[in-house]
Structures are given as structure tokens and as C-alpha cells.
Amino acid sequence: MLMPSEIARMEEARQARAMTEISVDYERIMGGVMSFLEPGSWANQACGVGLAGPVEEADVDRFVEYYTSRGVEPKVEVCQFADESLLKALGDRGFELRQFETVLVRKIDPDASALGGLTHGWPVDDEGRKLTIERVDPNDEALVLESWRVAMSGFMDEPSDPTEGQLEMHRQIVGHPHGEFIVAKFGDTIVGAGGAEYPRGDDISVVVLFGVSVLDEWRRRGVQQAMIAHRVEQGRLKGAKVAAIHSLPGASTDRNSMRLGFAPSYTKAIMAMSCEGLVPSP
């Protein structure tokens, strides 16, 4: 049986590694990674830190300087299993708690398909068309752009076009050699989009599901559940032992994933340091 602390160390290491593979600007620090894209980007944060033992004060200062010198608030995801020296160092520097993030996990049976168990069966629209799921071709620029718009629809208050930096990072995610970015469609209409990263034959045998949104008018039809099941099944075929999803507590992702056998495994505290003139990151 994998304990939550073991799952956390696998998943936090995977996340940190992934940020080195898709980020334009990053540095390794405190056993994890801090990355930056541009002011206002979700990528402006440190992750996977503090799990390798006590942190050095000089490293925490370097972390703070990395972000303040770029004009944004220092922000960090702190896993519940991080060394207490990290919490003390952040508290001493005025970091405040912004929100919690739950990591939900499902053990994967290597001999059983993950495509069963959908609450209402495989989704069908009002015209009787079954939902189809396809991988985004990184060479199809129009589809890459549309997949970004659909995926980000659940994370933005108002629709907007991506900056060149956001689009370039999305291209890196879509073209990642150990992942896939998918769109869900009824006929030719894209109704949902999201990504996954799969194991690559090493000790980090986790498939992580991320960044999914379903357009408002297509919700409550089982689309998100189908996208979860599809990616878990792909992870099973690639040797994953567990599937992981990061979610804000109480979000629809919580409910849909738990209906498919996921359960909370560990929690992360999202902490940031406010300072006049520094741009917050979502």
C-alpha cells in the first residue's frame, strides 16, 4: 500500500520535473523548482520544495529575490509533508495563506479498464452523438489555440486571447513527449479540453490529470467524467500505479473524480508574500 507521504513525494517530484520541461524560465531550489513566465501567469510559483529536509535561509531569500526582481509576488505550493523549517522561514518573511489545494488519488488496477463506472454511461448529446476524445496535434495551430481557449474557459472570468508567452507554454504542454492534451467533441463541436502526463518507466509511476474545463453549455452531461476515465485508462496502459488530480476544495473536479474512485490523499497550502508594486499570480 502506498502511503500519502509516498504519493506526495512521487507527485511533487513529477510536478517539479514537469515545470523544468515546459517553463521558459526556471531554477531548481529547496529540492523543487521555481518558475516564471510573465506577470499574471499561473506558472509563477515554486513547487516540490521542502520535502528533502530542512531548507536554508539563503535559499528562501533567493526564492524571494527570484520573483520580486521580476516584479511579481513570490508564491509557493507547500505540501503538508514539507519540512517545518520551510513554514517558519515563510512566516518570518510575511508570507500569507491564500488557499488550499487537494490532491486526490486513485489506485489503478493494472488488469481492469478504467472506462467503466461512469455515473450515467458514456455521454451522448441531444442529437444522439456520442462524445469523442482526440489528442491535440501540436502541428495543428488552430486546434492548439482552440484547445487553450476551451481549457482556460474555466479559469478566467472573461474570455481573452492568449499572450504569446501563454501560447508558447501551451505549445510545450501539447507537444510534451510524455503527455497528451485532449479535446472532447460532440460531432465537430469541441466541448471540453485538458491534459495529462504519463509515467515514463521510472520511479514516478503517476498519471496526473490537469487543466480540464468543459464549456458552460455542455456541463452536467458527464463530459468531465469521460475525460477523467479516458486519461486514467491511458495511464493504466502506460504502467501508472496511481492517478492524481489537483483540485480546489469543493470544486466540480472534486465531485466528479470522487465519483470515479478518487479520494483525497494530501493537501497543499498556497502561500504568497504581498508587497506594494508586485503583481499577484493566480
Domain ranges of the chain: 4-102+268-272, 109-240
Select 109-240's CATH number: 3.40.720.10, 3.40.630.30, 3.30.70.890, 3.40.50.2300: 3.40.630.30
Which pairing describes strands 263-272 and 132-135: parallel, antiparallel, or unpaired? Answer: unpaired
Asked if residue 207 lies in contact with residue 244, where contact means CB atoms within 8 angstroms, the answer is yes
Positions of the chain with pLDDT lower than 70, given as ranges: none
Whose cell is 509516498? That residue is: 6
Beta carbons of 46 and 63 less than 8 angstroms apart: yes
Q: What is the pLDDT of residue 155?
A: 84
Angle, CA of 272, 275 and 276, to the nearest 5° = 145
- Write down the pLDDT at residue 229: 97
Q: Are 195 and 80 in contact (CB under 8 A)?
A: no
Burial (0-12, 13-18, 19+ Cβ within 10 Å), 39: middle
pLDDT at 218: 96
Q: Helices marked H in the chain — which ranges?
A: 4-22, 57-68, 84-92, 141-152, 164-174, 223-237, 252-259
Whether the predicted model's global pTM rises above the 0.85 cut: yes
